[in-house]
Each structure stands twice: as C-alpha cells, then as structure tokens.
Amino acid sequence: KQEVTQIPAALSVPEGENLVLNCSFTDSAIYNLQWFRQDPGKGLTSLLLIQSSQREQTSGRLNASLDKSSGRSTLYIAASQPGDSATYLCAVTSGTYKYIFGTGTRLKVLA
Amino acid sequence: DAGVTQSPTHLIKTRGQQVTLRCSPKSGHDTVSWYQQALGQGPQFIFQYYEEEERQRGNFPDRFSGHQFPNYSSELNVNALLLGDSALYLCASSWGQGNTEAFFGQGTRLTVV
C-alpha cells in the first residue's frame, strides 16, 4: 500500500531564505509526482508535475526533484517571500489513477 | 476557461441529513474524482467517475455515492451525515483513462452540526 510522508510538518523561516520541503513514498512504482500549494480553506493549486521518467522540474523560484529508487522528492523554494506562506502538499499517482497525498508542510515566511 | 468549478462553496447541515455537492470539470476533461480533506490532513480519495460510471472507489462507506452526467459534470451525495463528515470536499477533473494531470476545484466546505 502506497504511503506518502512529508517532513517537516511545519516550517517558519525569515523572508529571503532558500528552503527545502521533503516528500517520501513507500512504493517506487509511480506514474507521476505532483506538488501542490493550498491556502487556508482553499482548493489545490498545482505547482509542479514530475513524470516518472523525469528527474526534476522547474518553475520560476521553484524546483522539484524526483528520485524514484529512494522514494523521495524535494521541493526547493528560492528566495522565499511572505506570499509563499501556505501548505504544500505532495501527491503521487500509480496504476490506480488516484492521487495519494501526504499530510503537507505548513510554511510560514516571516517578513 | 473557467477551470473546475464546485458548488456550493460552504454548507451547514444537521446530523442525519443528506447533502449533494456539485462539480463541473475543466473544459475538455471527461473524468471526475472526489476527495475528502479533514482539517490538518491531506485529501483522501473517495471515488472517480469516467463515462458515467464509478471506475474506482476509496475506503468510504456506501453513504457516499456519486453520479456523472453526460456533460461530464458530477455530483457527490452523502446520506445520514455524521459529525465526522465535516471536511473540505474537493473535486478534480482530468482527461481519459491514463494517469494524466488532474486539476482541482476550490472545494466545498461542509460543516455537520
């Protein structure tokens, strides 16, 4: 059974810091890994999608990497801003079509 | 493109009542999935509809049922509401049978009192 874990559960950093969020999964037979952002009480905004054949994806200040063999992904946020404060969720898909989510990392960037 | 739209945005119901949540998929998408997100948790898969049939179901009781219409929109019905059903319900749409990227709506916040 696929399980997704995110560490840390919460993170507070001063503005301008570079930071890394971690995601691990137990079954390496995945199709995609996706990072989402969720603002309080809101839906999910897709940040980056990494297909199983890819090693990383980049969008602006965000970079996500994928290591299937070790069951790990990292989301790197460069030069953090207060507007980056949100919960970041990692999810994987496999042959069953559904997303399996971690419990998220709550990020607070202090001005 | 309006993206995935869900209605209503908020809802308050009493224990034992029934509720219907609605979802319109992103233009061009034919698959709709529903997720339940309790406070402080990641979303949990409820079920997925494709070609008007339930293709896959998560670990949820039969009180949770759904429907997909010919225009690909979908409804989630929950009967005999429990306090524990209070959550954010998210709809996601995608295209086809493969593991294509899903797009999520803004959710419906259900509070059961």
Q: Name every chain B residue with its beta carbon within 8 A of the beta carbon of A101.
A: 42-44
Question: CB-CB: which of A41, A43, A103 is closest to B104?
Answer: A43
pLDDT at B1: 66
Closest-CA residue of chain A to B39: A41
pLDDT at B98: 64
Read off the pLDDT of residues B27-36 as tens digits, 9 standing for 90 and up: 999 999 999 9
pLDDT at B91: 97
Determine whether the interchain pair A99/B40 forms a contact, defined as Cβ–Cβ distance below 8 Å. no
Determine whether the interchain pair B43/A44 forms a contact, defined as Cβ–Cβ distance below 8 Å. yes
Chain B contacts to A (CB-CB under 8 A): 6, 33, 35, 40-45, 48, 55-56, 58, 88, 90, 92, 97-99, 101-107, 109
Distance CA B68, CA B52 (A): 5
pLDDT at B100: 76
State the nearest Cα–Cα gap between B113 and chain A, in angstroms.
Answer: 18
State the nearest Cα–Cα gap between A103 and chain B, in angstroms.
Answer: 4
Instruction: Classify burial at B51, counting beta carbons within 10 Å of its beta carbon; exposed 0-12, middle 13-18, buried 19 or more.
Output: exposed
Confidence category of residue B2, pLDDT binned at 50, 70, 90: confident
3-state secondary structure B91-111: EEEECCCCCCCCEECCCEEEE
Q: Name every chain B residue with its beta carbon within 8 A of the beta carbon of A23.
A: none
3-state secondary structure chain A: CCCEEEECCEEEEECCCCEEEEEEECCCCCCEEEEEEECCCCCEEEEEEEECCCCEEEECCEEEEEECCCCEEEEEECCCCHHHCEEEEEEEECCCCCEEECCCEEEEEEC
Q: Name every chain B residue with its beta carbon within 8 A of the beta carbon of A97.
A: 33, 48, 55-56, 97-99
Read off the pLDDT of residues A86-110 as tens digits, 9 standing for 90 and up: 999 999 998 667 899 999 999 999 9
Whether the ω angle into residue A8 lies within 30 degrees of 0, i.e. cis, is yes
How much is the average pLDDT of B16-22?
98
Question: CB-CB: which of B42, B99, B105 is closest to A104?
Answer: B42
pLDDT at A96: 67
Q: What percent of chain A has pLDDT over 90?
A: 88
Q: Which residue in this structure is represented by tokens 């070790």?
A: A70
